[in-house]
Amino acid sequence: RVVEWIVRSVRDQGFPAMARDLDTRDFLRSVGVEAEFGGCVTQTLGRYEGTRKGTLVVDVPDESIVGFRDTHYRPYLPLLSPAERVLEARVQVQRFARFEVVHTSRLHVLLPCTALGTKVVFHRQAAWFQPERLTGFEGLIDAET
C-alpha cells in the first residue's frame, strides 16, 4: 500500500522523485517511479576556511578514540517547528566545521563534513550501519576504520 501511494504521488507531481542514494533510486525505478539520484543537500555547503581544532566523535562505539564525544540523537527535535529544526541543523553543521577531525558512524555527519572540508573518519562497523545508504557517496570517504 505504501509503495502504491508513493507511485501515485510521484506520478501526480509531474517530475521525477529525487533519491538521496542510488539504492533508493533503483528501488523507486523498480516499482515504476521515475527517479533520479539527487544526493544530499548538505553536499552544497561551502568549504569552511576558519580555524579547526580537536577531535569530535559522533556515535562511534570504539572507546579507544580520544575526543569530544557526542550523539546525533536530539530528543527535542520532534517538538521543534520546521524553522527551528533548520536552525538546529545549522548549529550542528557549524560545530562539524570547527573540528580538525570528526569520527562518525552516521551518514548525516559524514556528508556535511566532506562538503565543509573537515577530515572525517567513517566507521562502518557500528551495529546500525546500512551499506545501501552509502551508494552514490563512496568516493567521498577518504579514510575509514
What integer is the mean pLDDT of 111-140? 82
* Neighbouring C-beta atoms of residue 23, cutoff 10 Å: 17
Whole-prediction pTM: 0.75
Tens-place pLDDT, residues 34-57 = 899 988 888 889 999 999 999 999
CB 40 within 8 A of CB 21: no
Dihedral sign from CA coordinates of 57, 88, 141, 119: negative
What integer is the mean pLDDT of 119-143? 75
Of the chain, the percentage scoring pLDDT greater than 70 comes to 94
pLDDT class of 63 with cuts at 50, 70, 90 = confident
